[in-house]
Structure 1
Amino acid sequence: MDILTEVLGSMRTGRPASVRTEGRAPWGLRLPPVAGAGFHVVLRGSCWLLPPEDAASAPEPVPAPRHEPVRLHTGDVVFLQNNHSHALADDPGTPAVDAGPARFRPGSPIGALSLGGDGARTTLLCGAYHLDQGRPHPLVRQLPEVVHLETRHGRHPELSAAVGLLRAELEEERAGAAGIVPALIDALLLYVLRAWLEEQPATAVAGWSAALRDPVIAPALTAIHEDPAARWSVESLAARAGTSRATFARRFHTLVGEPPLAYLTRWRMTTAARLLREADHPLSVVATRTGYGSEFAFAKAFKRAYGLAPGGYRRHAAATPMPFAGRHA
């Protein structure tokens, strides 16, 4: 069981939206909040990522934490979460303008946007991953507001290779690009989170980077993810981990951030939400596959977790619009 893949797969609510953006200095682009997580890949050139306070055209409901402008170079990848606005520019002093609608060629999954003057060129892939915001997984909650990964000087070779492949596909119109590029963007999210986890110090005593390599907790997490419908107890999970109940419960809470049965319930609800979004299973099937003996018990637990009855959640998910609305060329 690959827990990282399972976690991301459970939170994804649609295909990512992305736009190939070309800026010629001077240029500045203000990007609105997105429901999920934004990403930027610098394919060519360099630019600056500007903090929300400098980017916002209007106050946001929840003020974003302050961070300094970040210099981005060719090959860099930025992952941003928590629904805050931000800006990209050739220079921190260049005024940013609101992002206009991107152009989409018929049949193309990638939009195009050009702006700026006639100076130095920077090419980026800008986009958003649609993530379920109802109950974000603790792994995602532990991420910083801005994850900046550099691939120069041999760092993160797999991520660098993915960026190189994206660059090649987006710069040359070749057969198969419409299938290859979305698959690479899907893979990019896993590469980003893997690279971030691997950057965490091996001496970390808490958090998901520690939990996934812990010989006691990792087997229990794998068991929960493999079979969320099983009648797990703290005792049975501790037995799977090969330790005492008290030691297991204490260690699990320290690393994961919540007690074992609270995490079990979270994963059951996350699995249920995915089943409701991605298939038309009857509620009785969803209840059985997530460890509930009746539709009533399942519906009560689901509404407590998400604030919506299962049917209402399914209808809301089906009606949620995609970001990056654009116009066809």
Structure 2
Amino acid sequence: MEDKIWNCIIKRLTGSETEASEQALNSWMEEDASHAQQYREACSLWSLTGEVRHIQSDTRVLELIKDRKAPASEKVAGIRAIWKYGIAASLIVLFSVAAIFQYRNGNFKQDQVKEWVVKKAGPGKMILVEMPDGSKIWLNADSEIRFLKSFSQEKTRSVILNGEAYFDVSHDAAHPFVVKSAELTTTVYGTSFNVRAYSNEEETSVTVNSGKVGVTSGKEGGNARMLLPQDKLTYGDGKFTKTTVLAEADGWTRGDLVFDQTPLDEVFETISRKYNVKIAEAKTLRYQDCRLTARFRNQSLVAVLKTLKLAMNINSKQTGTTIYLEGGAVCSSNTK
């Protein structure tokens, strides 16, 4: 295990974690399932330190480390010095765990910790990210992507998405472009498509504009579901639903709001993110089972709220950055 990652683990276990160490450790664990397993093992061994009592010399620990090569011997000397000054026995266990992990990962092989690049669009904002390989990513409001600084040198061009993004991917058959979002993994070679995966929404969707993509679920695994232009795949509650859409998947990148049989809860979330406002729904608001089909071409918030009034009988009042809603039509499950 790299020294930098081990330091991040120690910071988390000892309650001294920083924002930078938290991000580095989380990224490392997401990178490979074996990394997450190593972290869990470290946590288990750390919990054992609470059982260490009145130890003058833990010969088992020292012998374990003595069996390792030079870097381990340096840690032995450090441990003896620390013990001489009365530091808690739990630190001995910590250094022992470090030695075990380093030995298991290839005789203290020091690999450089991979650096991550983070791009984020705040509420009410949209940004364009130009990738090192020439691909372009439009990030919707309140969305974030992460990718390795060595993105172009990796076998797969991978990004991790939280939120919504539209991708225009440069063709490279030897290096597939992979988008990890919630429980879905989308793999392409050169195409344009949209992924929506907000953490506060129950469903994740992938919509293709051009080319062909394959989508898999982390829970299901197995063969990828292939999507062609105008295909939309929605994943929620452990199930996939495939539909055909006529609207362009990248409409929102031009300022449009596009809803196609969209539940009103999701409509309100989209409005909140786009216009950077808070939606306060009254208890008397009646819209259960209602869905909205509408397109707003770069319209103002006032125009959108007027349409909701006409279409759904939803009244609205704005105070500062908060929109208060009440009323609404009553929709049945048969008349969505």
TM > 0.5 fold call: no
Q: Give the structure, 1 or 2, with the largest relative contact order (CA under 8 Å, sep 6 or more).
A: 1
Return the TM-score normalized by structure 2.
0.25
Larger radius of gyration: 2
Return the TM-score normalized by structure 1.
0.25
